[in-house]
């Protein structure tokens, strides 16, 4: 049985991402206390894959994911999941909203429900917890009068349900269309086949930290018709001020235009770390210019062979 790790505890948005990943439905699911611990377990072979946040996470971990993917032993991204972020206010059965004096949750989640809190529970004190799910579990494990630090938790609906808490208010996030992006990471192996709606993730290390350097890299992408969807400069571990670039773009390493762009980057960069090509979570087909289609590349190859007299 395949063993899947995730950023726990049970009830986090990361677990929701893993539950939404169809191939994981029959596998074993193991929570980890941090992204680093999950990816270390993956590298050591204790688990077979790990679901981790890569962008806009409620419970942190994005930097840890990035840094772990860029560090020495290669790992591969093999899938992507988008999870809508929905918060509920949950409490032990019988708690009245008017009796809530304090609320526990992860600090990022607290930031995303401040509008609702100011309007509805302006007097409530905030208690920081390690995760939203931890807030729910901690509340459930306590009982009246035993000195629990808070009266209600802000968490995902599933965390309230798992812990037998009562939902006092639904959908209390200030931004009702918030979404977090997760990726499924595995040890390197066979990459997923192209689907026509794929993404590729790479890290590019520059030769020098200079003005033109990034432009030169981006021109390799532009020259081959590649559409970027995420770009970050990341400090490299050794010295502040030396940077690499973490990049997502549309397309699959087996697409002609992607292959040419990767080769171009490989030539001009100090190092290109290929982190995987995988189906997009939203299933949206890549927008490919006519001049960058596989046909356009194959036609150009034929033309070159002809004029070279090959």
Q: Give the one residue of 90, 221, 244, 286 binding a second copy; rule: CB under 8 A.
A: 221
Closest CA to 73 of 186, 151, 149: 186
**CB of 95 or CB of 229, closer to a second copy:** 229
**CB of 27 or CB of 60, closer to a second copy:** 60
Q: Give the one residue of 23, 28, 33, 285 binding a second copy; rule: CB under 8 A.
A: 33
238-277: which residues touch a second copy (CB under 8 A)? 238-241, 243, 245, 253-254, 259-260, 262-264, 266-268, 274
91-130: which residues touch a second copy (CB under 8 A)? 107-108, 110-111, 114, 126, 128-130
Q: Give the one residue of 20, 37, 169, 197 binding a second copy; rule: CB under 8 A.
A: 37
Region binding a second copy by CB under 8 A among candidate stretches 10-18, 152-160, 162-170, 234-242 = 234-242
Whether 115 and 139 have beta carbons less than 8 Å apart is answered as no
The yes or no reply on residue 2 touching a second copy (CB under 8 A) is: no
The distance of Cα 221 from the centroid of its chain, to the nearest Å, equals 23
153-172: which residues touch a second copy (CB under 8 A)? none
The yes or no reply on residue 228 touching a second copy (CB under 8 A) is: yes
CB atoms within 10 A of CB 198: 25
**CB of 25 or CB of 176, closer to a second copy:** 176
The yes or no reply on residue 46 touching a second copy (CB under 8 A) is: no
The yes or no reply on residue 143 touching a second copy (CB under 8 A) is: no
Helix axes 62-70, 35-44, angle to 10 degrees: 30
The C-alpha atoms of residue 71 and residue 193 are separated, in whole angstroms, by 25
Residue 139's H or E segment, with its range, is helix 132-141
Q: Give the one residue of 64, 183, 185, 204 binding a second copy; rule: CB under 8 A.
A: 64
* Helix and strand totals (H; E) in the chain: 10, 14
The distance of Cα 178 from the centroid of its chain, to the nearest Å, equals 14
Whether 12 and 129 have beta carbons less than 8 Å apart is answered as no
Whether 105 and 129 have beta carbons less than 8 Å apart is answered as yes
Residues 6+ apart with CB under 8 A from 18: 4, 6, 24, 29, 51, 81, 182, 184
The yes or no reply on residue 45 touching a second copy (CB under 8 A) is: no
The C-alpha atoms of residue 206 and residue 221 are separated, in whole angstroms, by 15
| CB 121 to a second copy: min, Å | 15
199-218: which residues touch a second copy (CB under 8 A)? 209-212, 214-215, 218
């Amino acid at each position: 049985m395949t063993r899947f790790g995730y950023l726990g505890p049970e009830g986090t948005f990361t677990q929701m991402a893993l539950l939404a990943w169809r191939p994981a439905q029959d596998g074993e699911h193991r929570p980890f206390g941090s992204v680093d611990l999950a990816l270390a377990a993956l590298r050591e072979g204790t688990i077979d894959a790990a679901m981790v946040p890569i962008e806009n996470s409620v419970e942190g971990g994005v930097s840890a994911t990035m840094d772990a993917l860029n560090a020495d032993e290669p790992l591969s991204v093999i899938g992507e999941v988008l999870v809508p972020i929905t918060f509920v206010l949950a409490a032990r059965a019988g708690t009245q909203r008017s009796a809530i004096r304090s609320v526990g949750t992860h600090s990022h989640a607290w930031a995303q429900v401040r509008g609702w809190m100011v309007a509805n529970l302006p007097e409530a004190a905030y208690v920081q917890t390690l995760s939203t799910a931890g807030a729910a579990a901690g509340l459930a494990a306590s009982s009246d009068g035993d000195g629990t630090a808070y009266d209600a938790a802000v968490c995902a609906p599933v965390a309230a349900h798992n812990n037998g808490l009562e939902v006092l208010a639904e959908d209390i996030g200030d931004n009702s269309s918030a979404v977090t992006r997760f990726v499924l990471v595995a040890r390197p192996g066979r990459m997923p086949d192209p689907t026509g709606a794929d993404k590729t993730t790479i890290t590019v290390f520059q030769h020098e930290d200079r003005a033109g350097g990034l432009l030169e890299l981006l021109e390799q992408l532009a020259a081959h018709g590649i559409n970027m969807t995420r770009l970050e400069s990341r400090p490299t571990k050794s010295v502040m001020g030396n940077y690499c670039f973490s990049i997502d773009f549309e397309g699959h390493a087996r697409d002609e235009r992607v292959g040419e762009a990767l080769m171009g980057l490989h030539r001009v960069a100090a190092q290109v770390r290929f982190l995987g090509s995988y189906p997009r979570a939203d299933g949206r087909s890549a927008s490919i210019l006519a001049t960058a289609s596989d046909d356009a590349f194959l036609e150009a190859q034929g033309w070159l062979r002809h004029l070279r007299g090959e």
